[in-house]
Structure 1
Amino acid sequence: MRVNFKVLVPSVLIVVSTMLTACGTNSGTKANSSAAPVPTVNKDPASFTILNNDGGEAYAKQAKKDDIFYTEMSKLFSDYVGAPTTINYEFIPAAEFSQQVSVRFVSKDIPEVIATPSISDPGHPTAVENGVFLQLNDLIDKYGPNLKKKIPDNIWRNPRVSKDGKIYAIPKLLTPLNPKAFLIRKDWLEKLGMKQPETVDEFLAFFEAVKTKDPNGNGKNDEIGYFVRPDLGFSMAFFAPFDVTPGVWHFENNQFIPDIINPRMKDAIKLYKLMYDKGYINKDFVTSKTADWTNAIINETVATWSHDLRNVPASWSADKFVSKKAVIDLLPGIKNAKGQLSLGFSDLSIAKVHAILKDTKHPERFVQFMDWTYSDDPKKVNFFTFGINGRNFTESGNNITWDANSEANTKEKAFFQTMINPAGDTRTDQKVLQRMGNFDAKILEKGVGYTEKNLTENPAINMDLPDVMKTSPELTNAPGSLFLDMFAKTVTGKEDIDVAFDKYVAEWKKRGGEQAIKYATDWYTKNVKK
């Protein structure tokens, strides 16, 4: 089924990347703690196709409409709700998502549901204003008891989900809610006879030892302390001691300003420059690629690095490293001026949102489907955790046998655990980690604890990005921004930090930043400041 509508799409599409990061799991609740399904009034067959990006995941790229996992998921939900329902996904390449969605909105080639970063994503920026997305408040009140119970209020109020108090999408939460991880080679720390670093000075001392004492034992001084990527993705740990982070805003001198122009940011950049000058970070960070980051770590030349906590078991178990003997641990952060360990700031814990098109038949059934995915129905839990009974796992009484490294699960587990799981991600679920065999589940448990204690709430977590920053991405911290250009030039020594930072701030304000600050200050005064 295709739904007809009218939507305006601008000729210039702006894609602003943000890294989202807080803790929990949708599958770790107590048994029978979720609400029973709300009876379905209409028992007619219903069908929904969810348009989604493939996340670069191999199985998602080749999944067909009659995929066995769609069939199994549809059967489990139909049995649960008592009405025949078919759920399918259509995946498009992640890198082209907004562009392809824009074209498809113009050509009216959108299925019943779209899983999108935001209700105002650049691929459909005026969908809400033009009545394309269905308002969901009443349907959620009636058919979504688990949604209301398990999704925090601040998530429902976020502009990625709602506008003017009206809800237009159902979110998929990050699980854990704040999946930040700061990793260290524990075996190197022990080999060097050093304690776990906590202060900036202790990290610098550790990095000096890493650089000069050959902890990887290859006879070369090829080790670095911390790997930095050109867009600063998974590279922001050393902003934390200064209580600033690109993408975060703070109220300073009666104005709500982005940290990318905060005076404290200058001090943070000076630390990155110091580490660059001393060889503690990679000299090629301006041109390095993601593959360079991965290869440097697995080839055992990196002492500490940042990553997504959800990816730690699959990416950094000992067998992934060249020596097959690497021992990693998670760090609680770096101490700030107050002496508090900090991992930085929490971000909004939304992975994506599910919007239903206005003319979709039986929209209440899709709300029920989403409610089911947030429930504790045992069959639902097993499906999104272990896959299909008889194919991915076997069950005998209360015992489940699941081999994470079987041929089927090696290819398929990421698909059913996160790609088609609209409520979260079970890759870091304790039931999964206990069966992985090659990773200590207690490390992840410790990492979740660190995010609970050592992340500071982001004051701008529910602020919509100012319009001027949406249309002028050079004002953000995205690739190609004024900030990243200044950061690269000052860290590498091409420009003096004191002169360049002040010049950059003036240019940022001139290009529309003053307008952004006015919008943000008005928002903060109205919604946060009491």
Structure 2
Amino acid sequence: MEGVMNKKIGLLLLVGGLLQRGVLANEHKISEKPLELSILAIQNGKTYDENWTVFQEAFKDTNVKLKSYSSKNLTDEIQAFNLAVSSGNLPDIISLAYPEKLESLGMDGGIVPLNDLINKHAPNIKAFFEKYPRYKMDAVAADGNIYFIPDYYDWYNMRAAQGVFIRKDWLDKLGLKTPKTMDELYEVMVAFKTKDPNGNGKADEIPYFERSVEFADKELVGMFGAEIGFYVDENGKVKFGPTTERFKEAMPQVIKWYKEGLIDPEIFTRGFQARDYMLRNDLGGVTFDWFASTASYNEDKELKDKVKDFEFVAIAPPEYKGKSYAPDARTTYLGGWGISATCKDPVAAIKYFDYWFSEKGYELSNWGIENDTFVKEENGKKKFTDTVMKADGKTPLQVLRDKGIQFRIGALQDYEYEKAWGNPKASEWAEMYMQNGYIVDPMPTLKYTKEENRKIQKINSQLNMAVKEMNQKWILGAVDFNKTYDEFLNRLNEIGLKEAIDINQKSYDRFINSSN
């Protein structure tokens, strides 16, 4: 009898264990029957692909499958978005890099407000917003509704994006120390220009170069602590950088650098290949660029074979008036996704959004599938497998993206994923920038009412054009800064600068209060 009872207890325990595993296996299931939702999503020219292993795994967990709304031949996301809106035939889900377009469509009734759906059906997102009020602020539109879930960077752990790089081999060759101040940086660049550190007998060195035409002037004046656009001061007041005293200090310094040949004469025209050209031809000395991709040149065998002792290292931004400034930083998010008003099952869609904020979804979106793209070590730390790290003809990031990892969805990035595939020195330098407070955080992405948006778009386009035009003229020496600065300010005021500041101040104040 006792043996029979023990067998029954054992059977009950076995069945209980199976039931528990069954519950766990189904904890993410959203629909009893397979459910298909259409999605418009294009990132970096790649259209969403339902064959990506990340999303196939998500389908196994949730029973929700995403099907691409647009043709794989259509690689421009704005064009695809505009076509969908104009056709009146929206997909169930829309992913976009431009949240203002999703919010505008939401205010017109084309995107579903998510507030109630989150409260009732998305416990992971709700808890996430409660834990990180700043992330919630980024999701709230000017009318108080949430129309999209952002694609969040791991902003609290890593805001550093770019830094000052300098040729250490040139410093060593000339017997120079790492510059600690902007005055010392100037002296180093003069030496780079005049003392032939590349040793070819020609004065062909270009001390400072940039590959981002869009940010060249921003970063040059930015290292002096100046801004070229709107920003918020320490008192929460919106200011416009080119109208400030710091800008008036910074621009003459940059003009001097250019006039003396310390800045690439083609800085505004050379374009995206400038970094590659300058380094592979042993011409460039200093730049401000992305940590990971710039650090990788130190491991480039072809370059190292050609340029003996090549070493390009990140340094602390040289101080100006006692402070270091890194003028480019990561924002809190880039784009996101929302649910269209024509979605066949918005409850299922928000539950699917919520899945990506679960422990499994978070891991899947950042690391992929365990024992395929990553493994866990004994201490629980993850690392990517050789499938990712040693793929023929592909970088680790390309491999990850080919599997759908880090594709733009509403989710949170894990900075550890980037450290796992990136250059260790790049991570070290980025963390040095974070820990020492060099980062100049950009103004948050502001949200406008439809009327505000109509006005600000018109004013901003003209302001940006005026600033870019005059910055280039001043730096290139086409016009005299001191003689034309007041005229420039008058032009900004005629465009509507005061109204733009007022609109941005109202929007910023709303943003600050939007987590309530």
User: Fold conserved (TM > 0.5)?
Assistant: yes
- Secondary structure at the residue paired with 1:334? coil
Contact preservation (8 Å) 1:183, 1:306: yes
CA distance in 1, matches of 2:35, 2:163: 41
In structure 2, the partner of 1:140 is: 118
Pick closer, same or farther for the CA change 1:246–1:90 going to 2, 3 Å: farther
CA distance in 2, matches of 1:135, 1:162: 10
In structure 2, the partner of 1:358 is: 341
Pick closer, same or farther for the CA change 1:456–1:314 going to 2, 3 Å: closer
Pick closer, same or farther for the CA change 1:321–1:127 going to 2, 3 Å: same
In structure 1, the partner of 2:326 is: 343
CA distance in 1, matches of 2:249, 2:177: 26
In structure 1, the partner of 2:37 is: 48
CA distance in 1, matches of 2:412, 2:70: 18
The answer as to 2:193 corresponding to 1:211 is yes
In structure 2, the partner of 1:5 is: none
2:221 to 239, 260, 263: 239
The alpha-carbon deviation at position 51 of structure 1 amounts to: 2.2
In structure 2, the partner of 1:276 is: 258
Point out where structure 2 has 5 or more consecutive residues left out of the alignment: 1-23
The answer as to 2:94 corresponding to 1:129 is no
The answer as to 2:403 corresponding to 1:419 is no
**Amino acid across the alignment from 1:233:** F
The alpha-carbon deviation at position 308 of structure 1 amounts to: 3.0
Q: Which shifted more, 271-280 or 465-474?
A: 465-474
**Amino acid across the alignment from 1:362:** D
The answer as to 2:93 corresponding to 1:113 is yes
1:402 to 378, 386, 391: 386
1:318 to 294, 297, 300: 300
Contact preservation (8 Å) 1:52, 1:91: no
- Secondary structure at the residue paired with 1:407? coil
TM-score normalised to the size of structure 1? 0.76
**Amino acid across the alignment from 1:101:** F
Contact preservation (8 Å) 1:114, 1:356: yes
**Amino acid across the alignment from 1:114:** I
- Secondary structure at the residue paired with 1:297? helix
CA distance in 2, matches of 1:296, 1:506: 39
CA distance in 1, matches of 2:377, 2:504: 57
Structure holding more helix per residue: 2
Measured against aligned partners, the alpha-carbon deviations of 1:166-192 in whole angstroms (never above 9, x if no partner) come to 211111123544423332223222333
1:449 to 432, 436, 446: 432
The alpha-carbon deviation at position 141 of structure 1 amounts to: 3.3
In structure 1, the partner of 2:238 is: 256
The alpha-carbon deviation at position 383 of structure 1 amounts to: 6.7
Pick closer, same or farther for the CA change 1:114–1:429 going to 2, 3 Å: same
The alpha-carbon deviation at position 140 of structure 1 amounts to: 2.6
CA distance in 2, matches of 1:189, 1:371: 52
Contact preservation (8 Å) 2:328, 2:439: yes
Contact preservation (8 Å) 2:208, 2:287: yes
Computed over aligned residues only, the root mean square deviation of the Cα atoms, in angstroms, reads: 3.8
The number of aligned residues is 472
Pick closer, same or farther for the CA change 1:368–1:194 going to 2, 3 Å: farther
In structure 1, the partner of 2:18 is: none
1:196 to 172, 175, 178: 178
**Amino acid across the alignment from 2:33:** D
- Secondary structure at the residue paired with 1:343? coil
The alpha-carbon deviation at position 396 of structure 1 amounts to: 11
**Amino acid across the alignment from 1:116:** L
The alpha-carbon deviation at position 426 of structure 1 amounts to: 6.6
TM-score normalised to the size of structure 2? 0.78
Identity between Structure 1 and Structure 2 (%): 20
CA distance in 2, matches of 1:64, 1:525: 37
- Secondary structure at the residue paired with 2:499? helix
CA distance in 2, matches of 1:369, 1:214: 60
CA distance in 2, matches of 1:241, 1:504: 22
**Match runs of 1:66-77 below 5 Å:** 66-67=50-51, 69=52, 72-77=53-58
The alpha-carbon deviation at position 88 of structure 1 amounts to: 4.5
Structure of greater Rg: 2
CA distance in 2, matches of 1:523, 1:406: 47
The alpha-carbon deviation at position 367 of structure 1 amounts to: 3.3
The answer as to 2:106 corresponding to 1:154 is no
The alpha-carbon deviation at position 201 of structure 1 amounts to: 0.4
**Match runs of 1:215-234 below 5 Å:** 215-228=197-210, 231-233=213-215
**Amino acid across the alignment from 2:433:** Y
Contact preservation (8 Å) 1:216, 1:223: yes
